[in-house]
A and B are shown apart, each in its own frame.
Chain A
Amino acid sequence: MVVKKWKLEKSANCYNCGDATIHNIKVDQYHIKIRCRDCGFTRYYAFHMVDLPDKTD
C-alpha cells in the first residue's frame, strides 16, 4: 500500500480561535494533520484500520 502525501485546504471556523480561516490538511498513509493557518491550532490523527472490498477481478 503506497500512499502519496496529499496537501489539502479547507475554509472553516477554527475550533480554537473560532474565526473563519483556512486550514492546511496534510494526509499521508499513517497520519492526518490539520492546522489552522491563522492561530496555528493543530489536530493530529493516526491511522487506525483499513476496510477493503473484495476484489472481483
Chain B
Amino acid sequence: MKVHLRVFVEVENLGKAMNALVEAGITGFYILEYKGMSPQEWEGFSIKEDPKSAVRLIRDHANDAMLICCVVDEEKTDKIVEKVIESMEGEKYTILEVPIKRIIVNYKDKESQRAETWLLEKEVPCFYCGENAVQRIKIDMNKAKIWCTNCGAARYYLVKGIEKGEK
C-alpha cells in the first residue's frame, strides 16, 4: 500500500521540511503554495458572507503556507514522519497520511512507458560489507543493477529471455 503524505508548513520552514523529507529517504515530491487560516484566528468575529468580503479577509489575514506532497510506501511512512517531527520541533505544521487505493499513470509516448526504469529498495545485510543497509535495485528492459548504499558494491545482471505466460 502506498500513502499520500501531505506536510503543511509555514513558508519560512519549507527548506527545513524538505531537507527532513529527503534525509528520511523520499524519492520525489511536489509543492503547492497556499493561503492558510486557522479558525482560532477569526474567533469572535463572524465573516461577512458576500464573496468580496470573504476574499478580502483571506487576502488580509491568511498566512502564506506551503504544502509538500509525496507518495511513499506505507512501511516507510512512520520513519519519514518521525524525521519531520524531529526536524520541525517548535514549528507549526500539519501532517496528513492518506492511503492510496490505486495509482494510474498515463504516458504520452507508448515506447517510453515500455522502457521505463524501475527503482526498488530492500534493506538487508549487504553480501559484501555485511552491514544492514538499503540495497537499491534498478531494473531496465535489458539490464539490472543491485548496489549497496553503504559500501557501493554492485552486482550487474543482463536480460536472458522472456516468456509469455498463461493467465
A residues apposed to B, CB below 8 Å: 1-4, 6, 8, 10-13, 15-16, 20, 25, 27, 29, 31-32, 34-36, 38-53, 55
Using A38-B167, A40-B166, A53-B152 as known contacts, say yes or no to A47 and B157 having CB atoms under 8 A apart. yes
Q: Is A42 a contact of B120 with CB atoms below 8 Å?
A: no
Q: Is B165 a contact of A40 with CB atoms below 8 Å?
A: yes
Residue of B nearest to A7 (CB): B122
Partner of B160 from A10, A46, A50 at Cβ < 8 Å: A46
Using A12-B116, A27-B137 as known contacts, say yes or no to A45 and B127 having CB atoms under 8 A apart. no
User: A9 → chain B, closest Cβ, in Å?
Assistant: 9
Q: Name 19 extra pairs, CB < 8 A, besides A32-B139, A46-B159.
A: A6-B122, A8-B137, A10-B120, A13-B116, A15-B114, A15-B141, A20-B105, A32-B157, A35-B165, A36-B165, A39-B167, A40-B165, A41-B164, A45-B144, A45-B160, A48-B157, A51-B154, A52-B153, A55-B129
Within 8 A of A (CB), among B80-136: 102-105, 113-114, 116, 118, 120, 122, 124, 127-129
Partner of B159 from A20, A27, A36, A45 at Cβ < 8 Å: A45
CB of B155 within 8 A of chain A?
yes
